[in-house]
Structure 1
Amino acid sequence: MFLVDLVYKADISIVEKFTPEHRAWLDEQYKAGHFMFSGPKKPRTGGIIIAKMDSREELQTLLANDPFAKNQVAEYHITEFIAMKTHGELQKFVEK
């Protein structure tokens, strides 16, 4: 599993121009089963994504197609982790 820390590189007014495309891209990733959770940071300096992917390389390729990446308004910091504990109702998301 991976935690993606998305950090805006551009002013929020520029980020907002690409937000509808970014959210449509997120929807595609949820449908494909790649992403489990996502949302903006508070304050709005970027966002967080929890992804379930087979490899860091696969995730990096996927993130490169995010409209935020394509338009150079965000950068991504990826941390791989092993979900050792979870709420019972979320267990189905961490089992392979």
Structure 2
Amino acid sequence: MFIVSLSYTAPLSDIDALLDQHIVWLQQGYAAGLLLASGRKSPRTGGVILARGERAELEALLARDPFAVANVARYEITEFHASMTAPELDCLRNI
């Protein structure tokens, strides 16, 4: 499983101009079964994505994000293996 931390590198006006396209891209990632959760950071300096699959597949998906294409965000990928979870999140173990 992967945690992707997005950090905006452009003004929010640039981010907002691409937001609808970014949401469509997220929906495609969910439909493909790669994305598990996503949302904005607070304060609004970027976002966080929880993903699964192969790293190369995730990197290819991230490269197609409109934020990446427009070079308005940078991405940090952290791989981890959830060995313990709250009962509600048992499905995330060993992904």
The interval holding the TM-score normalised by the smaller chain is over 0.9
TM-score between both structures, scaled by the size of structure 2 = 0.93
The 2-side partners of 1:3 and 1:87 are apart by 18
Q: Which runs of 5+ in 1 are unaligned?
A: none
Counterpart code for 2:56: E
| Match of residue 84 from structure 2 | 85
Describe how 1:16-95 pairs up with structure 2 within 5 A: 16-54=16-54, 56-95=55-94
Structure 1, 83-92 or 30-39: larger mean CA deviation: 83-92
Contact preservation (8 Å) 1:4, 1:76: yes
TM-score (norm 1): 0.92
- Is the CA contact (8 Å cut-off) linking 1:36 and 1:93 kept in structure 2? no
**In 1, Cα distance between equivalents of 2:3 and 2:91:** 18
Aligned length: 95
CA contact (8 A) 2:38 2:48 kept: yes
Deviation at 1:19, TM superposition (A): 0.6
The CA distance in 2 between the partners of 1:67 and 1:27, in whole Å, is: 13
Deviation at 1:32, TM superposition (A): 1.2
The Cα RMSD (Å) is: 1.2
* Cα distance in structure 1, aligned partners of 2:83 and 2:74: 28
- What is the deviation of 1:95? 4.8
